[in-house]
Amino acid sequence: MSYTSPLLSLSGAVAAGAPDEGVAAHYGDPLREQRALARGEAVVDLSHRGVVTVSGPDRLTWLNTISSQLLLDLAPGESTETLLLTVQGRIEYSPRVVDDGATTWLLTESWEAGPLAQWLDRMKFMLRVEITDVTADWATVGSVKPVERFTGNLTWTDAWPHVCTGGYSYSVVPEASHPGTDRPWHEYLVPRADLPAAVEGLKLAGMMAAEALRIAAWRPRLGVETDERTIPHELDLLRTAVHLTKGCYKGQETIARVHNLGHPPRRLVFLQLDGSQHTLPERGSAVVVGGRTVGTLTSVGQHYEMGAVGLAVIKRSVDPDAVLDVVDGDEHYAAAQELIVATDAGQVVGRPTGLLKGGRA
């Protein structure tokens, strides 16, 4: 079902393309909007995103049994994220989760809400839960810093890049110096009918600004960094979306086996792209080393300080010091890689301490 945000009718608004159809790419000045967003002076229209609710007394215990995160003691207003996996441990859904004491709210990508609600409905059996796709009634607005106007709204706050309880970091970068700490992130639920009034008088930034800051924060996104083969280890998602010592759930065997005994076959990297061509490669472009395709460019943007940047998923075996070549048709873009997921991530059984850092006990 197609969607067009009412904010696209504002002066200067330019529509975004996939996967963000329906909202603005920018409102006339993407880099200025990005600076304002980074400083906490602007908000982003995320009203194309989906919202699913799970109500009923069994909601948290049930969601806990079918997903990767420990949700049993999720307090009202507390935020987290979880993964719904295949039996092989591959990511199917990745909802952002916040509970209000009576209802659990799942914030999703635009395409994710309907299929997720149907999947959950098939899994509820005789439990006291009710699943509803409420996307038609609720919109989402995002910001880097808390917005006073939305103090009373139900808010999801991203834990990234902090290593949550039960999580584990696959990065060689200490948490304190992780670039994600420069981009705290908040998403506010707003009645959809009230969206224009809710943001009236606030500076607006488009999705180009939001995506550039996400890329710079090394923050993976479902349907963008993921494909049908993705396991959480490849994207460093064990730090925020997986609890390694909770009870059984579908896909847990793969999570444990790769983490303890193996290595993820691919790894997420941050790319600093050659900007001398004054163009950007398209998402999905091949990442090449020595004439051999080793991965895919998953995200790309123009950062207001760093210039052309991107995220790519590449083979674990690629030399971390190699200069990569991003190939988009006849255009070639040299790209320096920065490790997000360590080349030796995983296989923690018998690993000397102090190499990759686990979460809090």
Q: Are the C-beta atoms of 138 and 156 separated by less than 8 Å?
A: no
Length of the chain: 361
CA 86/CA 340 separation, integer angstroms: 24
Q: What is the 3-state secondary structure (H, E, C) of 301-314?
A: EEECCCEEEEEEEE
Annotated binding-site positions for substrate: 187
* pLDDT greater than 70 at residue 83: yes
Report pLDDT digits (tens) over 256-282.
999 999 999 999 999 999 988 889 999
Query: Given this model, what pLDDT does residue 143 score?
Result: 98
| CB-side neighbour CA atoms (13 Å) of 148 | 3
Place of tokens 């309907």: 114
Whole-number pLDDT of residue 275: 83
Model pLDDT for residues 276-312, shown as the tens digit of each residue: 888 999 999 999 999 999 999 999 999 999 999 999 9
pTM: 0.95
Contact 133, 108 (CB under 8 A): no
- What is the structure's pLDDT at 331? 95
Greater model confidence, 278 or 167: 167
Give Cβ neighbours of residue 73 (< 8 Å, ≥ 6 apart): none
**Which parts of the chain fold into alpha helices (H)?**
30-38, 59-66, 113-123, 195-199, 207-216, 252-261
The number of beta carbons lying within 10 Å of the beta carbon of residue 78 is 13
**Beta-carbon neighbour count of residue 57 at 10 Å?**
11
Which residues belong to the annotated binding site?
A: 187
Domains of the chain (ranges; CATH) run 6-216 (3.30.1360.120), 232-339 (2.40.30.160)
Count of CB atoms situated within 10 Å of the CB of 24? 25
